[in-house]
Amino acid sequence: MTFPEPLDSLSSDDLAVLQQCLSEERFDPGECLFRAGEPGDSFYIIDAGTVRVQLDREELDSEGTLGFVDAGSILGELAMLDHRPRSASAIADSPVHTRRLDQAALERLSQEHPGVALAVYQALGRNAASTVRSSNERLAAAVFRYKDPDVDAMVARARIAQATFATWSEKQVDALLLALARRVATEARTLAEATVECTRIGNVDDKTGKIGVASLAVLKTLFGEPGSGWLDGGGPDTGVREIASPVGVVFGLVPVTSPVATGIFKILIALKGRNAIILSPNRIAQPVCAALARSVDDVLQAEGAPADVVQWVTKRNSRRKTQLFMSHAGVDLVLATGGRAMVEAAYSSGNPALGVGPGNAPVLVADDADVDTCADNVIRSKSFDNGLICGAENNLVVVAARREELVAALERHGAAVLSAEETAKALAGPLANGRTRMSSDLIGRSAADIAARLGIRRERTIRLVVAPSESCAPDNPLAHEKMAPLVSLFTVPDIDAGLALCKQLMQLDGTGHTAVLYTRDEALAERFGNEVAASRMLLNTPATHGIVGATTGLLPSFTLGCGTFGGNSLTDNVGYRHLLNVKRLARHDPEREAVFDYMNYVNPSAALTSQVLGFDSLEVEAEGCIVRDNRGREFLDCLAGVGVMNVGHRHPRVVAAVREQLERMPMSSRLLFNARAAELARRLADLA
């Protein structure tokens, strides 16, 4: 039996003694060798297979993989040496064969063979030092832009493919997008089934519909639109025309909550702008993303597209590799959809990034709300795909006068509104178990499943769990985002208190994402829109359907900006135009130059006053009492040339007389006598 470095430095006799203390253990893929927080009471020799080292996920869509340990390595010796809890978990990434030495066996070895035990401790110390050295090298790599050959190769291929794809016509691109959307929509149910099978969250029916929206509904917003060359922006009055060009290579994160829908959405909007895209799926979603990749590759090949214009990160994806992609000099834009940690990493990568944040949408139910419609909408929306939509309702905030009506309506439409006792029991048990966040085991589970785990029973099928709450403190799990068919219910005395509570809830989670109001009062709707920091303000509509344009006029999208409220760079529903560089061709405008010259050389103070008053155009024509400007507007001239145009502009008799005199003598010399001046003086004297 072989031993890894540095244990193989022991003598053969010492190794024979050590071998007798080791116990063989085998693990199937997905089985845990040890978990973060457990006592460090043993170490492993990896004889065959690969072990994945990862952090326990606080966020479902943040990559937790730190790295991989292969055969011929020692694992777990640090915690055994310093007797501190494990800092990360070790999961079998393939069938793994190990030999394990626990603390009790090592202590026996110390008593019976102290020399061998000392040699083992020294070997473990050398291995631990090597591990620390590697950590320092990885830290230096993060600071000094370490190069990964796989990352470099993928980005290089993407740049070559994008340069070729940039020459495609609009007709070719639209044909490709149509073929992709149709292929994915046709396979939507199969892909939805595969998604649920590998992620174990959500439900097939809703994921099928979601994939349909991400493919066909998104295609509808792209097909026939200009994705390159001249756009329709600017308008004839400005003299500016817009020209679209690709951003280049896009790196897109694909979350575990909606891997297929987000994947095809990002592919469509990237390709519409003639960009190449490298997609990095969450590790859990990699099997279904591999199926999506095969379908996409088939279409790309059939349509003659460059093979590397769409690529997928499949080999040993980790936080480190993801960071290398996001900060790579050959990546032009990062399109981040995932947990807060990954989005923050995207924005700090040094490359331009479009990211989103978590959702914690409050729903304010006003005095005049239609509570029956509200209850029906909330249940339909929050139960969709088992509550995995980031912009779905999370907190119901109802004025006290309507609380009982709302509770009755919720119960009537299939919700289980918990009693105070049921809520307290749930928080102490499976719902949170004393933590400040909802248990990750409940994420994406059905309401019926969650109710069963909480010991909640009703005579009808439970579609949504509603838990009353009072505290908006950070340590209240019910005040945070809940990616499950579960909402909190807060009661407030009046609408002012409701608005204040909505703001507080969004400060905990979901700042800038989505907020919902149920009211018939347009003045209240306007106030809600002005006061609450949300990029999507929904009125009397289900949030899940409203944020993607199914029940509103918003753009269908699976990347929803939260603005600077939530630390994002945009508030929009991201579409293909966000993945374009829009250039502007501006022509020389002599009329604008005339205004500029007037301001500088004629009368600066008067020009400034005119601009403040809105008279910032050029007068180009006048007739009678009308003056026309260079924008085609007409003005009734009450100034009349400061009183000298008392017969109007361009009066025919005046024009004829002036023309006659111009043909004789435009201006008097003032030295000789002038008959016209004398005649004018006589007539004025007669009048006076």
Task: Point out which residues pair with 361 in neighbouring strands.
Answer: 393
| Contact present, 281 and 310 (Cβ < 8 Å) | no
* Packed helices 188-199 and 286-302: angle between N→C axes, nearest 10 degrees: 150
Q: Write out the two tokens for 178.
A: 């149509």
Contact partners, residue 221, CB within 8 Å, separation at least 6: 555, 556, 575, 576
Burial class (CB in 10 A: 0-12, 13-18, 19+), 30: exposed
Instruction: Tell me how far apart the alpha carbons of residues 69 and 65 are, in angstroms, rounded to a whole number.
Output: 11
Q: Which of 256, 509, 242, 558 has the alpha carbon at shortest distance from 359?
A: 509
Per DSSP, the chain holds a count of helices (H) and strands (E) of 25, 26
Rg value, the chain, Cα: 35
* Packed helices 319-326 and 149-165: angle between N→C axes, nearest 10 degrees: 40
Just list the catalytic residues: 390
| Contact present, 619 and 650 (Cβ < 8 Å) | no
Burial class (CB in 10 A: 0-12, 13-18, 19+), 573: buried
| Contact present, 98 and 26 (Cβ < 8 Å) | yes
| Contact present, 90 and 50 (Cβ < 8 Å) | no
580-586 and 240-246: which strand pairing? Answer: antiparallel
CA dihedral sign of residues 205, 207, 208, 210? positive
Q: Which of 419, 414, 445 has the alpha carbon at shortest distance from 430?
A: 445
Instruction: Tell me how far apart the alpha carbons of residues 303 and 309 are, in angstroms, rounded to a whole number.
Output: 12
- Calculate ∠ Cα 111-112-117, nearest 5°: 70
Instruction: Tell me how far apart the alpha carbons of residues 353 and 338 are, in angstroms, rounded to a whole number.
Output: 13
- Calculate ∠ Cα 106-111-116, nearest 5°: 60
| Contact present, 351 and 334 (Cβ < 8 Å) | yes
Instruction: Tell me how far apart the alpha carbons of residues 384 and 205 are, in angstroms, rounded to a whole number.
Output: 9
| Contact present, 346 and 353 (Cβ < 8 Å) | yes
